[in-house]
Structures are given as structure tokens and as C-alpha cells.
């Protein structure tokens, strides 16, 4: 993982246009072949294939954690690409998630259909990251941690210790030349 995160960090420092804003929460969705019945998944019935997608209850819990973030962190970018297929179900699911956050006062940006490598760099440099289902998202969460960001919800489903330790010590004012948060 250290080699992967090192490459991602280098790429981010060489291409700052690929990085999220410093006051931004980045949320990843695993879309495509794992999303089969987005309405029932959203309602809290059986999760998607291998539980890669989450229902409304999960995102209500995420909102509770996000409410502890600085006010400037009301900017949220939803990242998800349907390169695994999924068509209309994936489109509906990501709309449900994005609309959910908008209805709760978040300024939502939809970042869809970017190349996976560019998305990985973007996700990994998030100041605050909401992990999605699958190994891709978990690996991005590991890079977030290594690059100085905070995982709002870890891939094991528990709060990141840095999140619990207190957000008042976070410095979002600058991104260092090496791509890490100040």
C-alpha cells in the first residue's frame, strides 16, 4: 500500500487539477454490476451484491458524523462510475444518494464518468472521505489516511480514530507541496 499511495501522492502533486477542494467531503459509490434493485437497497432491504452499496440508514449515520465537521465541509462530491455496467439501476442509486445529501443542506457535486485512475487520485487526496463498498474504495481510504485525510467511516464500519480524536486540530487551510494536507 505504501508504494501505491506514494505514486498517488506524487501524481497529485504533479497534477493539482486532479485534486478535490480542501473543504470538500468526498463520497465514493461502488456502482455497476453490484447494484441490482436500488429502491429496495435504499429502503434498507437486502444490500447489493456482496453488500457493495448501502441504504438510507447508512447515509443517515454518515450525516451524523459529517455534522461534526467544520461548517465549510458542507461541500460534498459524489464519485462513481458505471464502468462495471449497471445502467439505470446505478443511475437511480447514485441519484438517490446525491439527492439525500442535497435535501439535508449539502452542496453536492456529481463527479461521474471520470477514468478510474483519475478518480483514485481524487478520492485519495480527500480531506474527508466516505468510503464505499469494495476493495477499490478501501484502498483509496488507506491512501486518504496515509496522505493526512480523515476517513469519516472506515471500511470496517467504525469511525476513524483521527475523526474521533477531535476535528478542531485539523488544518484544511493549506495543501503542502507534496500533496498532503497541511
pTM of the predicted model over 0.85? no
CA neighbor of 68 nearest in space, from 166, 171, 181, 173: 166
CA neighbor of 62 nearest in space, from 158, 175, 141: 158
At a CB cut-off of 8 Å and minimum separation 6, what does 139 contact? 1, 4, 120
177, pLDDT greater than 70: no
Query: What are φ and ψ of residue 29, in 5° steps?
Result: -115, 130
Encode pLDDT of 73-98 as tens digits. 899 999 998 766 668 888 899 899 99
CA neighbor of 137 nearest in space, from 69, 76, 40, 51: 51
Length of the chain: 182
pLDDT recorded at residue 72: 62
CA neighbor of 31 nearest in space, from 8, 12, 11, 54: 54
pLDDT recorded at residue 165: 41
What cell does 125 get?
487526496
Encode pLDDT of 113-130 as tens digits. 889 999 999 999 999 999
Instruction: Give percent above pLDDT 70 in the chain.
Output: 77
Q: What is the DSSP letter of 21?
A: P
What cell does 118 get?
483519475
What cell does 135 get?
476493495
Cβ atoms of 73 and 66 closer than 8 Å: yes
Amino acid at each position: 500500500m505504501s508504494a501505491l499511495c506514494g505514486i498517488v501522492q506524487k501524481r497529485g502533486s504533479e497534477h493539482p487539477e486532479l485534486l478535490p477542494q480542501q473543504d470538500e467531503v468526498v463520497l465514493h459509490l461502488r456502482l455497476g454490476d453490484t447494484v441490482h434493485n436500488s429502491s429496495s437497497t435504499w429502503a434498507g432491504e437486502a444490500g447489493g451484491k456482496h453488500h457493495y452499496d448501502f441504504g438510507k440508514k447508512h447515509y443517515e449515520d454518515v450525516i451524523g458524523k459529517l455534522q461534526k465537521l467544520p461548517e465549510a465541509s458542507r461541500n460534498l462530491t459524489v464519485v462513481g462510475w458505471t464502468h462495471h455496467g449497471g445502467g439505470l439501476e446505478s443511475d437511480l442509486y447514485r441519484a438517490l444518494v446525491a439527492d439525500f445529501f442535497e435535501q439535508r443542506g449539502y452542496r453536492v457535486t456529481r463527479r461521474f464518468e471520470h477514468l478510474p485512475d483519475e478518480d483514485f487520485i481524487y478520492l485519495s487526496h480527500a480531506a474527508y472521505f466516505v468510503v464505499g463498498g469494495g476493495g477499490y474504495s478501501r484502498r483509496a481510504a488507506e491512501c486518504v489516511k496515509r496522505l493526512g485525510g480523515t476517513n469519516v467511516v472506515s471500511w470496517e464500519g467504525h469511525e476513524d480514530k483521527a475523526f474521533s480524536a477531535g476535528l478542531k486540530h485539523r488544518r484544511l487551510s493549506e495543501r503542502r507541496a507534496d500533496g498532503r494536507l497541511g
